[in-house]
Chain A
Amino acid sequence: MFQPVLLANVDKPNSHTLATYEAAGGYAAMKKVVNSMTPAATIELVKSSNLRGRGGAGFPTGLKWTFLPKDATKIYMCINADESEPGTFNNRILMEEDPHQILEGIIISCFATKSDTAYIYIRYEYPLCTQRIQAAVDECYAKGYLGKKILGSEFSLDIYLHRGAAAYICGEETGLIESLEGKRAWPRIKPPFPAVEGLFRKPTVVNNIETMCCVTQIAARGAEWFKSIGVPSDPKNPRDPGSYGPKLYCLSGHINKPGCYEAPLGITVRQLIDQYGGGVWKGRKAKAVVPGGISMGLMSGDELDTPLDFAGPGKVGCLGLGTAAVIVMDDQTSMVDVLHNCCRFFQHESCGQCTPCREGTAWSLAMLDRIRAGRGRLRDLDLLLEIGDSIGIIPGTTICGLSDGAAWPIKNAIRKFRGEFEEYIKRTNPTGYAEVEPVPALETNGHGGHHALPVINQSVAWGGNARPAFPGPVEGGKKL
């Protein structure tokens, strides 16, 4: 039977304290690495484990580290704790319940990459995480695990927390970097990649929280242990690094026992729902399942035997494994509502930099709003698909992957549930569903579309010509 490793500590009393963590053998791996290994050997260890980043893209972590320039004088480590993908909460649990496992991974990773400064970018919505991580960092400084000359070695490291301010795009690594620098979180064009020119224009590694925990476990248990878990690489695909190691799956939605479960990569959706989640709620059947956060699209109820490894969801038309956040929708769920919810999310969170994403996400929400207001047209479905097929880094029309995430729910929902959408539109708009000429836009409050309540979009600091009252310039305001 598979034994949880990443979550091994979380149920213990005071699991977040250094004492509890060390009582279970914590920081031994860090000490071993810092005292007896070289940075190169540490990178090699992580590389040989085939660890792939847990943040969503699944890029091999060790390989990412090797992209850092050898002659760099300053390297920054950024820890991406801006977990905002709907359905995802594994990092929150790790930060709240086992912050030292994360810090140990960060220390090891910084040692490996010769980084002396790490910033943990924590989303604003995680106040408890912020407290726990800060307390853990303080404990580490007190114990000499952080600061100058750690454990008497030449290795020094400072870790700072940086709180986000409620923007999904800050989870994109260059959006995170821009946000950290104090700018609007507009993702940067690549190249240059962060490993070459990142935070404050210096070489930078951006890694996810769960990835750091995996690094801790790999350092403690070895690369072979890690590779004994999960799905081996596809021999027919030489570029497939495999899906190794334990993974935290977040299970939510219409499920009896929602929660975060640790399982070997490659578990199927059905196993997850039945063995861990106690089945779909109310004795119903699953109509659709999100495989890894809504960015990854949707699986239909007949695709539940898909393995949740890095390659699995792609085989049923989803974008990928993403954050492995599985959201279950029962057979009474309206896919129109689900897609509306997804489109509303991405419209709200699009950073607005690239035209196709800024306008495409808003346009798709406007259509869904109109459809839900009983004025849908069959043509809208084709327009939605056209938007879905044309936005994102995969077709190359945007700078970052947010709009791929916006595209996938549209594509999957309409292609996999087209009958339901057509039926909905014909039923709610019996006289106009066949219309093809442009129709007047829905009258909205201009802030988030039709809603049961007039919604005031919180992202609008001021709209139109109305601005906040301003008493006048003050002395010393910078004027060049």
Chain B
Amino acid sequence: MSTATATRVLTDEMVAAIQAFFPRYPTKQAVTLPALHIVNQRLKYVPLQAVVEIAQLLELAPAQVQDTLSFYGLFPQDEPSGRTRAWVCRSISCALRGGEQILEHMCHQEQIHPGQTTADGALTLEFGECLGACEFAPCMLAGDTLYKDLTPESASAFLQDCRQKT
């Protein structure tokens, strides 16, 4: 165990944003998910240091926050996600219409495995379970944008766009 004190990663703005959720719930623990989202949106990951600081704000032990965090697949902890984070649906409706092939195509094109980030940090590519857009299968959620009826061509175009985004 290191005795050095680490530098804080939560900014005053993040702390204020987290605290703004307190009046909505009778317990502070209920703000766990909102707090994790706030940090993840800004830092694109939730490092362990942030977990400690969130725990402090919510008057919890770090293990309680980490317990909740690790249950969900959403919060990376090792390194920030790419500038774009995309989930390609692999559930049944998309799989029936080639969703897995799209994911494979994109992985091959970017030379990464699902869950990894491209070397230039432009894109983190993951699989997702049903994105709830089965009428547009195969589909992908990239950031807040839903990409519908993907084909290898449109997927390649998306990858091209990602690279250009800074």
Contacts and interface: CB of A to CB of B under 8 A. Distances in A.
In the complex, is A directly touching B at CB under 8 Å?
yes
B91 A92 contact: no
A182 B27 contact: yes
A453 B115 contact: no
A200 B107 contact: no
Given A259-B135, A333-B96, A338-B92, A84 B115 contact: no
Given A125-B87, A160-B24, A252-B137, A165 B62 contact: no
A383 B150 CA distance: 37
Interface string A249-281: 011111000111000000000000000000000
A183 B131 CA distance: 23
A426 interface: no
A127 interface: yes
Given A125-B128, A180-B30, A458 B115 contact: yes
A333 B136 CA distance: 19
Contacts of A461: 69-70, 75, 77
Contacts of A478: 55-56, 59-62
Given A452-B104, A476-B56, A254 B30 contact: no
A87 B30 contact: no
Contacts of A294: 91-92
Contact of B34 (A163, A458, A470): A163
A477 B56 contact: yes
A165 B135 contact: no
A164 interface: yes
B144 interface: yes
B132 A123 contact: yes
Contacts of A329: 96
Contact of B49 (A341, A454, A474): A474
A14 B137 CA distance: 25
A470 B96 contact: no
A344 B91 CA distance: 9
A480 B61 contact: yes
B128 A181 contact: no
A184 B132 contact: no
A5 interface: no
A469 B72 CA distance: 20
Interface string A450-480: 0011111111011000001111111111111
B29 A250 contact: no
A473 B128 contact: no
B129 A86 contact: yes
A215 interface: no
Interface in B124-145: 126-137, 141, 143-144
B129 A128 contact: no
Given A165-B37, A338-B92, A474 B52 contact: yes
B72 A456 contact: no
B55 A477 contact: yes
Contacts, number: 218
Given A168-B129, A342-B92, A478-B60, A327 B72 contact: no
B34 to A, nearest CB: 7
Among B52, B60, B134, the most chain A Cβ lie within 10 Å of the Cβ of B134
Given A88-B132, A184-B71, A472-B4, A165 B36 contact: yes
A84 B5 contact: no
Interface residues of B, number: 75
Interface in B108-160: 113-116, 126-137, 141, 143-144, 146
A89 B91 CA distance: 13
A124 interface: yes
A162 B33 contact: yes
Interface in B40-85: 47-49, 52-53, 55-56, 58-62, 64, 67-75, 77-78
A85 interface: yes
B166 interface: no
Contacts of B31: 182
Contacts of A91: 132
B11 interface: no
A417 interface: no
Most buried by B among A165, A182, A462, A470: A182
B164 interface: no
Contact of A182 (B30, B47, B115, B135): B30
B129 to A, nearest CB: 6
A309 to B, nearest CB: 22
Given A258-B137, A455-B127, A472 B96 contact: no
Given A329-B96, A458-B115, A461-B69, A472 B1 contact: yes
A327 B127 contact: no
Contacts of B107: 453
B33 A88 contact: no
A184 B67 contact: yes
Contact of A124 (B8, B74, B133): B74
Given A341-B91, A345-B129, A480-B61, A468 B48 contact: yes
Interface in A143-194: 160, 162-168, 179-185
B91 A325 contact: no
Contact of A163 (B37, B71, B127): B37
Given A86-B129, A472-B6, A478-B56, A455 B114 contact: yes
24 contacts: A88-B130, A89-B134, A160-B24, A165-B72, A181-B30, A182-B29, A183-B32, A200-B25, A252-B134, A253-B134, A254-B97, A327-B134, A341-B95, A345-B91, A454-B113, A456-B115, A456-B116, A458-B126, A458-B127, A459-B73, A461-B70, A461-B77, A469-B78, A480-B61
Interface of B: 1-6, 8, 24-27, 29-34, 36-37, 47-49, 52-53, 55-56, 58-62, 64, 67-75, 77-78, 87, 90-93, 95-97, 100, 103-104, 107, 113-116, 126-137, 141, 143-144, 146
Q: Which 4 A-B pairs have the closest CB atoms?
A: A472-B2, A456-B115, A182-B32, A252-B134
